[in-house]
Structure 1
């Protein structure tokens, strides 16, 4: 039997979501500073790298809401990413902040390490939370939904994974969810709360 490739759409949104979850590192780097670059240049770069992913996500959400670009999925299972938060903090943020960035070679090595970590998070579909969204009461869930758009698809237990940004505290299994499409498989839940 021939396997079908599922079109995920643009993966850029997932990458921006990963970038935004790692963006607190840039605030810490701005406060810490580096010897190789003057503060007048370094601090605005770090602040820009901190704010830009949130701005892009917000503009994408605004556009999706304005155009009513929604998708409804049938949830098979949903996991809150908070269970991985301590792993995230101790394996990512602290080592990246604590890395030596005094010289230009050190800074380049740390920047490449950060890009490598971002690629791995993106590739493994690990998404945590954007700091601003968290302050506004949003959580991120990894949701598996059953594919069932055609008769052929309904015959198989095939699942597709979504990152869902939601105000809910819990997303029940075997429920339907309608969200704004932000791109790729990232949805912004239309439900305001549970």
Structure 2
């Protein structure tokens, strides 16, 4: 049981949370600040925007190369698109609109962003990676049945599925590349 608790707060889920908030960094790079040299600030923001996508792609490529697949039986699938307005208006827009023109205000915005990222990670709220969304991927949160496979018991609980499907049906058996923790990239294209 302890493994499932550790898996649920995995590094890959943190990367998903980071990537869902990464558009803030792109907007900050465009807007700029007077608190830090413009070149450095823009470069750091662009790295913070692109890094989670590159890390996710790296995990996905490694899992494909090693054929690290997992089969899960979906009990209940949820598409968090209905939460997107809450995400936009409660998180993304206030972070973008925060004053970052002096060092103290920039520090406050960074601390607020870190707190939001921690809360999203801890509460298992994942929205979407901006680049993956442009490529046609959606993200689903699914409750899965435990069960057994050749390696032993499979963790029951809540998994994150990255997929090009428009929906995942309750009761469906899904095969995906395990990116880490309880995160799968749907093998069906």
Off by >4 Å, runs of 4+ in structure 1: none
Alpha-carbon distance in structure 1 between the residues aligned to 2:104 and 2:148? 51
**Number of matched pairs:** 184
1:113-160 CA distance string (max 9 Å, x none): 10000000001110011111001110000000011229xx8xxxx940
Q: TM-score if structure 1 supplies the norm length? A: 0.91
* 5+ long unaligned stretches in structure 2: none
CA shift, 1:81, in A, is 1.2
Q: Could you tell me how far 1:108 is from its partner in structure 2?
A: 0.7
Unaligned runs of 5+ in 1: none
- Determine the structure 2 residue equivalent to 1:18: 17
Aligned equivalent of 1:184 = 181
* SS at 2:168 equivalent: coil
Alignment-derived partner of residue 172 in structure 1:
169
Q: Work out the CA distance in 2 between the residues paired with 1:65 and 1:81.
A: 26
C-alpha offsets along residues 32-82 of structure 1, whole Å, 9 cap, x if unaligned? Answer: 111111111110000000000000000110000010001000100001111
Residue 103 of structure 1: how far off its partner (Å): 1.0
Inter-partner Cα distance in structure 2 for 1:181 and 1:52: 20
Q: Is the counterpart of residue 53 in structure 1 residue 52 in structure 2?
A: yes
Could you say which residue in structure 2 is the equivalent of 1:86?
85
d(CA) in 2 for partners of 1:99 and 1:121?
19
RMSD, aligned α-carbons: 1.7
Q: Which has the larger radius of gyration?
A: 1
Hey, what does 2:115 align to over in structure 1?
116
